[in-house]
């Protein structure tokens, strides 16, 4: 991986499965962070679930929310099987796992950090909810604007993107 210059932005001209997954996950993490702080600390387990699902997507390519969105008719940008440019095979949705690319690194990094910080917030200090709230907010921002701080860092370090608009 060689260092790069420029800005990494994901495609935002349409709503696709991966982008909607980020929106759903970010909303869940942010709402659960707030509910953990003001209602009951067991809401951190919802954050843990999102973190573990993120790790599962990075390792296996299988995404529960992504499959539900596919059932509603949304199309993925990086599916494992594409028959042609215009026709996407509707079966179970799996993200590509042929090699490690930028988006898979993000899923792994976010999943591990959310899992750890949610348990630290539940059993050690609720101050960790500031971190999970930040991650939730950043994920929602990523879904709407296409800009992600971590994605740009990994892009600059040389990780190969699959959803990138080059600027």
CB of 106 within 8 A of CB of 90?
no
Angle made by CA atoms 98, 67, 93, in degrees to the nearest 5: 25
The pLDDT value recorded for residue 84 is 46
Task: Report pLDDT digits (tens) over 112-157.
Answer: 999 999 999 999 999 999 999 999 999 999 999 989 888 888 888 8
Q: Which residues contact 23 (CB under 8 A, 6 or more apart)?
A: 139, 140, 143, 144
Residue 47: pLDDT band (50, 70, 90) is: very high
Strand, helix or coil for residue 118? helix
pTM of the model: 0.86
Taking the domains of the chain in order of start, what are their residue ranges? Answer: 8-15+26-60+98-166
166: its two tokens = 């080059």
164 compared with 85, residue with greater pLDDT: 164
Does the CA dihedral 39-45-50-51 come out positive or negative? positive
Task: Report pLDDT digits (tens) over 48-96.
Answer: 999 999 999 999 989 999 999 988 988 888 766 555 445 555 578 888 8
Q: Cα dihedral angle (96, 99, 102, 105), rounded to 10 degrees?
A: 90
């Amino acid at each position: 991986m060689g260092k790069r210059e420029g800005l990494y932005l994901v495609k935002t001209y349409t709503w696709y499965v991966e982008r909607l997954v980020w929106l759903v996950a970010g909303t869940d993490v942010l709402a659960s962070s707030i509910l953990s702080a003001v209602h009951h600390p067991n809401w951190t387990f919802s954050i843990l679930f999102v973190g573990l699902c993120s790790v599962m997507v990075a390792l296996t390519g299988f995404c529960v929310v992504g499959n539900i969105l596919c059932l509603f008719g949304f199309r993925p940008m990086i599916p494992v099987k594409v028959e042609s440019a215009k026709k996407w095979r509707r079966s179970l949705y799996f993200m590509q796992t042929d090699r490690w690319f930028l988006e898979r690194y993000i899923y792994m990094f976010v999943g591990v950090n959310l899992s750890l910080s949610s348990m630290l917030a539940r059993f050690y200090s609720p101050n960790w909810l500031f971190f999970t709230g930040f991650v939730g907010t950043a994920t929602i921002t990523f879904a709407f604007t296409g800009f992600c701080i971590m994605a740009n860092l990994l892009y600059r370090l040389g990780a190969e993107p699959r959803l990138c608009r080059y600027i």
